[in-house]
Structure 1
């Protein structure tokens, strides 16, 4: 499989954003179940959110603390706390440690990653760094989508079709499945990997691995 990837190319540098009340180290372990032949072709960087978990984590007992969160919202998703601060924090990290070619996000990190292309295009966020070339969305949905409001900064994040190349993981048993499909349809020519699992980073079977390899081959051609 390694031989099928484009040779003599610089590995894509990807900033990885973890899920709600987890951590960069946890996402690294979750993604670590993917084949080494794939991971070897990616330059992955895992960032902890700037805010300690403000409540119990769903991964307690499965993964060790500390746990972090990117933002919080009220129960009906009409108000968001710490969103702007986290976006500024991500931008600072990208300035200091970039450039990055793309973003990979799981769950809460996927919400952010999916909103970045339009926020950058509108000049409301991440203006100090190069525009990202692609996003990988695992168990995500869109702000302003199904039963979900939106932070002010991302008010127009999905106001028109997004032309940024995107790869979407959608789980058949994921409680965000409907939202993930809605999000996918906001992108032009999205690439999709369906899997039977729930709200998780899935293992890759042969078909999904080839889909991801093909996506990587495509993004490596982006100048």
Structure 2
């Protein structure tokens, strides 16, 4: 196996924010520098449920808009969370394998909790392990309001070991919760930006951090590919 064959683009399933869409997230991500985008294989998925109310991006981005799950007015009961996870798994079976998840806002809540649920065998049991995360304006379910999806009850009981990159905006209303989320991960990488609850453009420093993160996960994938190749050769 040549070096070029061993260095693959990490493949991410990308989960958009509340009452937006895959197309909207794609437009925002595509503003990142080309030298970052060319190193990633990104697949953008629409959430399973049409938006049940007004979207904050109306007038800025065209509909349709979708949501991954719903909460009651007291933020204590999650509806359709299990269906959402099953929907994701079905897509991953048909279109995978995926190396990681990239999520923004509501999509980031899901992305951040999936590795813990998967490790405990309560979700995504039919697909390969999620190895990497890119979390944009995310938070931990355990610190978000009062509710907690049943599947995620103990997802953060052990540290999340997969390499993770977290975007935290200085003006983001979720900044305190996004900062708290870092405590659930081993050696999280963080890109701080001056903006609010958004997918930020990457400045020179952010681009440098992102490229180092991608290089790190590419080395992990290359090592896995080499190990697999050696095992096949030994058979």
TM-score of the superposition, structure 2-length normalised?
A: 0.90
From 44, 57, 60, the equivalent of 2:58 is 60
- SS of alignment partner, residue 221 of structure 1: helix
- SS of alignment partner, residue 103 of structure 2: strand
Q: Which residue of 2 aligns with 1:130?
A: 128
Task: Determine the C-alpha separation between the residues in 1 that align with 2:167 and 2:147.
Answer: 22
Q: Structure 1 runs of 4+ off > 6 angstroms?
A: none
Task: Determine the C-alpha separation between the residues in 1 that align with 2:204 and 2:170.
Answer: 18
1:174-194, Cα deviation, whole Å (9 max, x unpaired): 000000001111101000000
Counterpart mapping for 1:11-22 below 5 A: 11-22=9-20
Give the Å deviation of 1:144: 1.2
Task: Determine the C-alpha separation between the residues in 2 that align with 1:165 and 1:32.
Answer: 23
Q: Which residue of 1 aligns with 2:117?
A: 119
Kindly indicate which of the two structures has a greater share of residues assigned to helix. Answer: 2
Q: Which residue of 1 aligns with 2:39?
A: 41
Give the Å deviation of 1:160: 2.2
Q: Which residue of 1 aligns with 2:207?
A: 209
TM-score of the superposition, structure 1-length normalised?
A: 0.95
Task: Determine the C-alpha separation between the residues in 2 that align with 1:148 and 1:201.
Answer: 26
Unpaired stretches in structure 1, ≥5 consecutive residues: 1-5
From 160, 167, 170, the equivalent of 1:169 is 167
Q: Which residue of 2 aligns with 1:71?
A: 69
Task: Determine the C-alpha separation between the residues in 1 that align with 2:164 and 2:216.
Answer: 11
Unpaired stretches in structure 2, ≥5 consecutive residues: 225-235
Task: Determine the C-alpha separation between the residues in 2 that align with 1:144 and 1:161.
Answer: 14
